[in-house]
Structure 1
Amino acid sequence: MKKIPLISVIVFIILSISFIIYQNFSSDSFGSEFVEQIRIADAEDTLDNIPENTLINIGKNICISSVDWTDVETSENLIRNELINNEIIVDEKNRIIPILRFQSIYELCPENIPYLEQIFIINE
């Protein structure tokens, strides 16, 4: 009679350990979601030939620059400068700039969301 509960506990432990191992090995690497979202949103193929590591570094640098954002225009200029530093020429009307602004913050440095919110509060 006691064998059934013991077997149930053992099966539960094995399933739990299997689930934890699966979660650890199936997790995405840092920035993979960021790269995927940028590739989807890049309708003009501006960043099509940019390697993933370079794209993640651009996103990280955008995160770093977010503390200097005082308004939307400043943020767009800093993002454009980051792209130029990586030899990516974009028109100021290119929609990849605001996409990079949002995706960099939300995917790579969510702790900087207040800086993103601040530039839109100032412009209201």
Structure 2
Amino acid sequence: MTRRQAAAQLAAPGIDAIRDAYLCGGSDAQRVAALIEIAGAAAALARTVARYRHVDRAELFELVSRRSDVLPVLGRGQWLPTMTHHIPAPPRQRKRSRTNGSTARPVTQVVQPALFASIAGGR
């Protein structure tokens, strides 16, 4: 698995949660507001990690699917009206059977939905 594929796999649960918010009922304004809240929180977390861990932008360009998103998310660029595109659903992963009898779920499945639930649930 490439590093870009690993990054996409890590983002998949979050993207699923965002697509759920996009497809849920409610008015268009409510859905847009929810997506803005999610995007703002995600961008703030990305900027925090990039700042304190000194993440190299060049490395980020190699890991993301749309290079044009890197600088605006990090606060160094500008969002443009042309920056709209279809976000496909992440591919579903096959469930692996556990051979050791463990019933624990991977951390990303537990933490990611909780993170987005707290954002969407309104503090």
Same fold (TM over 0.5): no
- Please give the TM-score of this superposition, normalised by the length of structure 1: 0.29
Structure with the larger helix share: 1
Q: Looking at both structures, which has the greater relative contact order when contacts are Cα pairs under 8 Å and sequence separation is at least 6?
A: 2
- Please give the TM-score of this superposition, normalised by the length of structure 2: 0.29
Rg larger in 1 or in 2?
1
